């Protein structure tokens, strides 16, 4: 059966844990010279910019022995109106897997419904599942027992927040989410996660961050929302700065999926400070993309 990875909750708890352990193993370098995907070709369609996701996937694909093919949508017939159905069916005849970053989540759902090869969501407006695997891997490395961890996410209830909530639920980490009113994460993600872990919503970041082990934020204006600058005004008080960080545990780590808008959702002293793990978090994208590719495309 073809497996796609469109959102975190497409995986079982056991599969998610397997990905975390395999990512740590791959990071150690034990299988560095093995090329389990040799002879395969993996497409990458990116309708939004990307630094980490695109490069980590290209390097991961190369290191696993496969061939990455980056496709800008304007170079595909999709830009001239060819349907997603036809594109998915045709690319399935050439490729062994496809990584897609796009706007509407329904686009990856439609693509996967016609695809004969695994589809990996490299970010949609609603979900960023590959990011969440690297996020939890980073927390596991830094903090150990995930069931004892309190994650506090402060900011916009966006794609990153939705996937982080689902991932926290799969590993049993408690999660607090502080957003301005009306900018909460998707209800379907919260409701699903509440069946697996403790999820609490706040409008007060100070309350949400109190005694947290992890303080996480993301941009206030996501890709595709650039026309909605008024939204920024709703985030007064939601910046991760030294005063907010003091409410968390003394050894709390600070996370951000990057790219950051320094001086908006996070201050320079915090993102560059001793509690920040953002560069390890970014590095872990490479190891987790490899584990995801191996898992979906077969070792």
Q: Is 52 in the site for ligand CP (CB under 6 A)?
A: yes
Burial 45-58 (b: 16+ CB within 10 A, else e): bbbbebebbbebbb
Element of type H or E holding 253: strand 253-256
- Which residue, judged by CB position, is nearest to ligand CP in the bound state? 53
Nearest approach, Cβ of residue 114 and ligand CP (Å): 25
Q: Is 158 in the site for ligand CP (CB under 6 A)?
A: no
The span from the CA of 119 to the CA of 99, in Å, is 6
DSSP string, 123-189: --SS--HHHHHHHHHHHHHHH--GGG-EEEEES--SHHHHHHHHHHHHHT-EEEEE--TT-PPPHHH
Q: Is 59 in the site for ligand CP (CB under 6 A)?
A: no
Active-site hit among 22, 125, 130, 131? 131
Q: Which of 53, 63, 102, 162 binds ligand CP (CB under 6 A)?
A: 53
Q: Is 241 in the site for ligand CP (CB under 6 A)?
A: no
Nearest approach, Cβ of residue 268 and ligand NVA (Å): 19
Active-site hit among 9, 128, 176, 256? 128
Q: What residues have CB less than 8 Å from 90, skipping those under 6 apart?
A: none
Task: Compare residues 37 and 132 and give the one whose CB is closer to ligand NVA.
Answer: 132
The span from the CA of 130 to the CA of 166, in Å, is 12
Q: Which of 51, 104, 116, 211 binds ligand CP (CB under 6 A)?
A: 51
Active-site hit among 9, 22, 101, 127? 101
Choose from ligand NVA, ligand CP, none: what does 219 bind? Cβ within 5-8 Å by kind.
ligand NVA
Which residues are at the interface with ligand NVA (CB under 6 A)?
A: 123, 158-160, 218-219, 222-223, 257
Task: Compare residues 117 and 122 and give the one whose CB is closer to ligand CP.
Answer: 122
Can you read off the two tokens belonging to residue 191?
């409701």
Nearest approach, Cβ of residue 258 and ligand NVA (Å): 7
Nearest approach, Cβ of residue 128 and ligand CP (Å): 6
Distances (CA, A) of 162 to 129, 207, 279: 9, 20, 22
- Which residue, 6, 65, 76, 3, is CA-closest to 33? 65
285 is catalytic: yes
Q: Is 201 in the site for ligand CP (CB under 6 A)?
A: no
Choose from ligand CP, ligand NVA, none: what does 51 bind? Cβ within 5-8 Å by kind.
ligand CP
HEC sequence for 31-49: CCCCCCCCCCEEEEEECCC
Task: Compare residues 50 and 210 and give the one whose CB is closer to ligand CP.
Answer: 50
- Which residue, 213, 202, 280, is CA-closest to 245? 213
Nearest approach, Cβ of residue 1 and ligand CP (Å): 28
Distances (CA, A) of 116 to 36, 79, 92, 273: 20, 22, 5, 46
128 is catalytic: yes
Task: Compare residues 50 and 241 and give the one whose CB is closer to ligand CP.
Answer: 50
CA dihedral of residues 13, 17, 23, 24 (deg, nearest 10): 160
Nearest approach, Cβ of residue 46 and ligand CP (Å): 9
The residues that touch ligand CP, with contacts defined as CB under 6 A, are 50-53, 123, 131, 257-259
Which positions are annotated as active-site residues? 101, 128, 131, 218, 257, 285
């Amino acid at each position: 059966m073809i497996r796609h990875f469109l959102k975190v909750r497409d995986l079982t708890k056991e599969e998610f844990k397997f990905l975390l352990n395999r990512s740590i193993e791959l990071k150690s370098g034990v299988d560095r010279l093995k090329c389990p995907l040799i002879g395969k070709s993996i497409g990458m369609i990116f309708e939004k910019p990307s630094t980490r996701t695109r490069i980590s996937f290209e390097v991961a694909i190369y290191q696993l022995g496969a061939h990455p093919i980056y496709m800008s949508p304007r170079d595909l017939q999709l830009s001239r109106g060819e349907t997603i159905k036809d594109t998915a069916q045709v690319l399935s005849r050439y490729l062994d897997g496809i990584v897609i970053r796009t706007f509407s989540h329904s686009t990856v759902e439609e693509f996967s419904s016609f695809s004969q090869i695994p589809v990996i969501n490299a970010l949609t407006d609603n979900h960023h599942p590959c990011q969440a695997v690297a996020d939890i891997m980073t927390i596991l490395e830094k903090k150990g027992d995930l069931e004892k961890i309190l994650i506090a996410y402060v900011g916009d209830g966006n794609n990153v927040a939705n996937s982080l909530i689902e991932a926290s639920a799969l590993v049993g980490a408690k999660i607090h989410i502080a957003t301005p009113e009306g900018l909460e994460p998707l209800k379907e993600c919260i409701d699903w996660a509440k069946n697996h872990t403790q999820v609490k919503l706040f409008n007060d970041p100070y309350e949400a961050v109190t005694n947290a082990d992890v303080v996480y934020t993301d941009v206030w204006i996501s890709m595709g929302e650039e026309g909605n600058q008024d939204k920024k005004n709703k985030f007064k008080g939601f910046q991760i700065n030294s005063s907010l960080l003091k409410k968390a545990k003394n050894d709390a780590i600070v996370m951000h999926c990057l790219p950051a808008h320094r001086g908006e959702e996070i201050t320079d002293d915090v993102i560059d400070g001793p509690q920040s793990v953002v560069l390890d978090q970014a590095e872990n994208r490479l190891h987790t993309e490899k584990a995801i590719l191996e898992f979906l495309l077969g070792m």
